[in-house]
């Protein structure tokens, strides 16, 4: 059975925020850097303060870019990309996930899924590092087997990135 859905501008911006969420490795690296920076600044004295200020500004710029600018650009891209505003269909198959739109019909086979992510609203399926398909969790209301999708993603692709 094919579940039908539409992606709104707010949905698209929220999916961009989800895709920009730091993964486990990057989060761990950031924590290690912060833990090492504090004693470095404390022990380095006044000579380390400019370095710490530059690092703090770089972190603030990265956070602003990831969580403010990227969703704003996502909204702009959504408004320009008419194909994203049309109705989609999704069907869970043994071999993968079939995504249907008025202009395309394709199956993303499990072997071609690089990674996946989820939050309370979406499951994102990545066939490439920066290309993802958005599947709203609301499709479960139409009979889509969302627990089955998550189980198969875990089995064939691995744990959530």
Tens-place pLDDT, residues 59-111 = 788 888 888 898 999 999 999 999 999 999 999 999 999 999 999 999 999 99
In the numeric block, which tokens belong to residue 96?
């993968």
Check residue 19 and give left, alpha or beta (phi > 0: left; psi -120 to 50: alpha). Answer: alpha
Q: What is the pLDDT of residue 46?
A: 78
Q: What is the pLDDT of residue 52?
A: 76
Proportion of the chain in helix, strand, coil states, percent, rounded to 5 = 55, 25, 20
CB atoms within 10 A of CB 93: 12
Over pLDDT 90: what percentage of the chain?
65
Q: What is the pLDDT of residue 137?
A: 97
pLDDT reading at 47 higher than 80: no
Distance between alpha carbon 19 and the CA centroid of its chain, in Å? 2
Q: How is residue 99 annotated by DSSP?
A: E
Q: Which range has the worst mean pLDDT, 49-58, 90-99, 149-158?
A: 49-58
Q: What is the pLDDT of residue 56?
A: 76
**Which helix H or strand E contains 75, and what residues bound it?**
helix 70-80
Residue 140 CB partners (closer than 8 Å, separation 6+): 146
Q: What is the pLDDT of residue 87?
A: 97
Q: What is the pLDDT of residue 42?
A: 72
**Mean pLDDT score of the chain, rounded to an integer?**
90
More confident residue, 43 or 99: 99
pLDDT reading at 1 higher than 90: no
Cross-sheet strand order for the sheet of 96-101: 3-6, 87-92, 96-101, 104-109
CB atoms within 10 A of CB 112: 13
More confident residue, 88 or 23: 88
What's the Cα-to-Cα distance from 99 to each of 32, 47, 105, 122, rounded to whole Å? 40, 56, 6, 15
């Amino acid at each position: 059975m094919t579940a039908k859905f539409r992606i709104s501008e707010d949905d698209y911006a929220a999916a961009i925020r989800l895709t920009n969420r730091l993964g486990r490795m990057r989060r761990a690296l950031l924590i290690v850097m912060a833990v090492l920076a504090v004693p470095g600044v404390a022990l380095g004295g006044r000579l380390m303060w400019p370095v710490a200020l530059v690092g703090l500004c770089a972190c603030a710029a990265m956070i602003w870019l990831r969580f403010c600018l990227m969703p704003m650009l996502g909204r702009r891209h959504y408004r320009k990309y008419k194909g994203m505003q049309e109705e989609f269909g999704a069907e869970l198959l043994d071999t993968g996930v079939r995504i249907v739109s008025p202009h395309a019909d394709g199956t993303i086979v499990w072997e071609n899924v690089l990674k996946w992510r989820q939050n309370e609203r979406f499951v994102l399926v990545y066939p490439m590092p920066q290309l993802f398909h958005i599947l709203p969790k609301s499709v479960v209301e139409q009979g889509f087997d969302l627990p089955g999708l998550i189980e198969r993603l875990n089995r064939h692709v691995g744990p959530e990135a």
